[in-house]
Amino acid sequence: MAHNNIDKSNLPLKGIRVLDMGQLIAGPFAATLLGDFGAEVIKVELPGIGDNARDVGPRYKNVPLWWKVEGRNKKSITLDVRKESGQKILKRLVEISDVLIENYLPGTLEKWNLSPDELKSVNPDLVLIRVSAYGQTGPYSKRYGYDRIALAYSGILYFSGYPGETPVKPGIAWVDYTTGIFSAFAAMIALYSRDTKKGGTGQVADIALYECMFRIIEYCVPQYHFLGEIRERTGNRHPCTAPGNTYITKDNECIITACSNDRTFNRLAKVMGKEHLSGDPRFKDANTRIKNADEIEKIVQDWISQFTLKDLLKKLNEGGVPASKIFSIKDVFNDPHIQVRENILDVDDKFLGKVKMQGVVPKLSGTPGRVKSTGPELGEHNSEIYKDLLKLNQAEINLLRKGNVI
């Protein structure tokens, strides 16, 4: 098992307090990532309603499974920040916190008397992460938008899919998760700047869903700028790689491989027993192979179709050619490499017993992350936060409950 001799209590973000006011994935996933490495994450949710993520996805014994994963390592409190008394409570939490993450429609915090300026007046060292579809500024800032809307607006969806067919989105909330990563990255940059620079203070990070995807759009911007070319759909092929596709084996399994450089193609040609292809004018380098992609793809597919998946993978792996079966989640569960790498963890849950979920990424040699708890019940930590942390007395708590503030 990995990290056997490492003290996992030595968490690098211990002492950092994060207020997670987000909904669903993009904002909250950033908080989850920080929590995996020791930050104390307090999830702020509306009384009786909670994060919408609690009601999305499959259930087991009426327990939402997605929430158990993405709500992990968090404490849940209920607080109605739409009410003045709730806003006062939140400001008390802001005063003793390091990061606040929200992903409401721009202007919502301002409407609740929780604008960046108001929060800064309470705690000038606060790092405020603001996630939205189109950003806090610009003519579209007040438009609603979600994962697939941002995928379309960023330009990425346009070239995803097969020629002559409508674009196809990925099978997961790709934009939301990518935005969560950028948001956690922003939080860490801001904390580093605050804590290591002379006179450092808090700041606001304006994170737009579409911008996170636009940043990873490869070379499309200069390609259009200089060449006037619009990248089109190419199915499972990449326009800069040939051969590289999804292939069908003799036993009707799907395998994927790609030759992103000449060295890899030469190794593939050798494994295929077709070394002459390396000197063929049509295939002698990456550019010529791309121009003759249909021909080389057919040659590779015809060769692959002669072998079973097991035999084919053995040949390719031994020959130094990157390749993999296209795994289902069942395949992932049973794979020995996944197990050795601790990519699937067992986490204790009081309702479900052991819950299997994704492990912590990235893997740090000295201060690895950990998962200590699954997603909490709504308001599970009200007593701990309101009584123990904020030192509210029982009469104050009862008054807040009576007013449906908590």
pLDDT computed for residue 353 by the predictor: 96
**Domains observed in the chain:** 17-216+340-402 (3.40.50.10540), 244-326 (3.30.1540.10)
Which whole number is the average pLDDT over 183-203?
97
pLDDT computed for residue 178 by the predictor: 98
Closest C-alpha to 149, from 122, 111, 131, 176: 176
How many Cα atoms within 13 Å fall on the side-chain side of residue 22?
A: 30
The catalytic site residues sit at 176
Which whole number is the average pLDDT over 242-259?
96
48-95 tens-digit pLDDT: 999 999 999 999 999 999 999 999 999 999 999 999 999 999 999 999
Residue 134 exposed, middle or buried by CB count within 10 Å (0-12, 13-18, 19+)? buried
Which residue(s) pair with 29 in the sheet?
A: none
d(C-alpha 140, C-alpha 190), whole Å: 26
pLDDT band at residue 10, thresholds of 50, 70 and 90?
confident
Task: Return the DSSP state at 388.
Answer: I
pLDDT band at residue 5, thresholds of 50, 70 and 90?
very low
pLDDT band at residue 100, thresholds of 50, 70 and 90?
very high
The verdict on pTM exceeding 0.85 is yes
pLDDT computed for residue 7 by the predictor: 52
